[in-house]
Amino acid sequence: MALQTPYMLLDPLLIAELVLLGLCTGFLAGLLGIGGGMIMVPFITAILASRGVAADLSVKMAIATSMATIIFTSISSVRAHHRRGSVRWDIVRSLAPGIVVGAALASLGVFALLKGASLALVFAAFVSFSATQMLLDKKPKPSRGLPGVAGQAGAGTAIGFLSGLVGAGGGFVSVPFMTWCNVVIHSAVGTSAALGFPIALSNAVGYVVAGQGVAGLPPGSLGYIFLPALAVIATASVLMAPLGVKAAHAMPVQSLKRVFAGLLYVLAAYMLYKALSI
C-alpha cells in the first residue's frame, strides 16, 4: 500500500527498528571510524520498501538518508577521538578538499552513468584486498609516508567518490589507506571519523539537490533524504558513538585490525552479491 502521510511511518515498531539501527551504527562509528552506512543502507531499504516505497526509490533514499545520519554520528565520534588525541588534523585538512570534489561527483549523479555490476565487482575486489592486507598485518615499508599534496588530493577524491556511491562514511577506504602510509591504527580510525563529516555533508547536499522534483517520494522527504528516519537514527547513533570510541581504545591494535578486516570482508561479500544479482 502506498504511503499517504509521514505519521504512518512513525509507528512504534518503526521507531524501535530505527533506534536499534542507530545504536548499532553509532557504536561501529566510534569503534572503527566508519559511518555505518553499509549497515544502514540495506536495513533502511527494507524498512522503506515494506512500507510502500518503490524498490528503486527506496535504495536511493536509503543511501541518502544513511549519508545524512553520518553528519551527526561523525561529530559525536570525532569529539571523543579528539579528546584522546587520536585525530590527525593535518591529514583531515589535506584530504578534505578532494573528498568534497569526489562526493559531489558521486552524489550528483555520476553513479547513475556507471554499470552497477562492473563497479560492484571492482569494489568487492578492492575491499577484499584491503581486508587481507590488514588481516595478515603486512608491515608497510618503514620509509613510506603519506603522499604529497597532489597524491592526498587524489586519495581524498577517491574516498569521497566511493563513499557517495554506497552511502558509507569512507572508513572502509581511508583507514586502510592511512595504515598503508604508516599512520598508527588508532590515529587512522580517529582521523577517519573526522573525515566522515565532509564526506557526509557534501554527499547529503548533492542528494537533496538531485532529489528535487522526483516522483514517488514519501511525505517527510527532503530530496532523497527521509527526515523521520534521519532524526531517529541520528539521535540514537550520537548517543552510542562515544561508547564505541571507548571500546576502540581499550582493544589491542591487532584485535582492532581483525575486527576491521572482518567488516571489510562482509562488505565485499555484500557487493559481490549485488554484482551477481544485477
The predicted-structure confidence for 164-180, as pLDDT tens digits, reads as follows 777 676 676 788 788 88
Q: What is the pLDDT of residue 230?
A: 92
Helix, strand, coil percentages (3-state) for the chain, rounded to 5, are: 80, 0, 20
Contact 262, 172 (CB under 8 A): no
pTM of the model: 0.73
Q: What is the pLDDT of residue 214?
A: 81
Burial (CB count <10 Å: 0-12, 13-18, 19+), residue 277: exposed
Contact 136, 182 (CB under 8 A): no
HSE of 29, CA atoms in CB hemisphere, 13 A: 41
Angle, nearest 10°, between helix axes 37-50 and 55-83?
140
Q: What is the pLDDT of residue 89?
A: 92
Contact 147, 155 (CB under 8 A): yes
Distance CA 158, CA 195 (A): 13
Contact 99, 64 (CB under 8 A): no
Mean pLDDT by 10 residues, the chain (278 residues): 51 86 80 66 81 78 85 79 86 89 81 54 69 66 70 86 74 79 83 86 87 82 90 87 78 72 78 68
Q: What DSSP state is assigned to residue 138?
A: P
Q: Which residues pair with 221 in a beta bridge?
A: 226
- pLDDT one-digit tens code per residue, 17-74: 899 988 888 887 677 666 566 677 778 888 887 888 887 788 788 888 988 888 887 7
Contact 134, 176 (CB under 8 A): yes
The grid coordinates listed for 126 are 578492492
Q: What is the pLDDT of residue 225?
A: 92
Distance CA 98, CA 236 (A): 30
Hey, is 13 helix, strand or coil? helix
Distance CA 184, CA 252 (A): 12
Cβ-Cβ contacts under 8 Å for 140 (sequence gap 6 or more): 179, 180, 181, 182
Within the chain, how many helices (H) and strands (E) appear? 11, 2
